[in-house]
Amino acid sequence: MSVSEALKQRRSIKNFDPAHKMSDNEFQHLMEHAILSPSAFNLQHWRIVRVTDAEQRQAIRTAAYDQPQMTDASEVLVLCMDLKTWAKEPAQYWNHTGPEVTDFMVQSITGYYQENSQAQRDEGMRSCSILSMALMLMAQEMGYYSCPMDGFDFAKVGEIINMPNDHEICLILTIGKPLTDPHPKGGQLKIEDVVLKDRF
């Protein structure tokens, strides 16, 4: 499936087949491609909690206002961002380059993030959002549907997954096989309504 076809076919699904399970090989394939997503300074801010335990899923469903995707989807992925990834051995993100490039990047990373908590959160959110789109497109190529979600108690889900204090949740992504055909798209704005030339 081409990227253009995946974009055209992707829909947010609410009713998943609870009997279907994604194989470990499929999950590995999904992740191997999704983590190639771009991120600010190549910091790869994302930390993905794959929730498989039935009781834990039920607890997240409760924290998500009883939305059935949390228990019925093949995969429930809590996409978190490490706000302090910039300070945790940043040279590791540039270990395939020469020392000159690595030293420059580490200095740039520290200079940008150290006194800028807003950037730490914003860049983590952007990078995690890019990853989520890659996951959705890869899932679509693999014959799965998905649903990005923010309709849940973030603090409660953070407790359930034992999230570290220097992390935040970006969103939850559910992936699986639909029980019914997806609804048609609700409507799309025209390109000329959303693309502006030079200025507003």
Domains in the chain, CATH or no CATH each: 3-194 (3.40.109.10)
- Location of structure tokens 């409507």: 187
Pairing label, strands 167-176, 46-51 = unpaired
CA distance 73 to 49: 15
- Which residues touch 82 (CB under 8 Å, ≥6 apart)? 45, 46, 47, 88, 124, 164, 166, 167
Instruction: Give the pLDDT of the chain (200 residues) as one tens digit per residue.
Output: 888 888 888 888 889 999 999 999 999 999 999 999 999 999 999 999 999 999 999 999 999 999 999 999 999 999 999 999 999 999 999 989 989 999 999 999 999 999 999 999 999 999 999 999 999 999 999 999 999 999 999 999 999 999 999 999 999 999 999 998 888 888 889 999 999 999 99
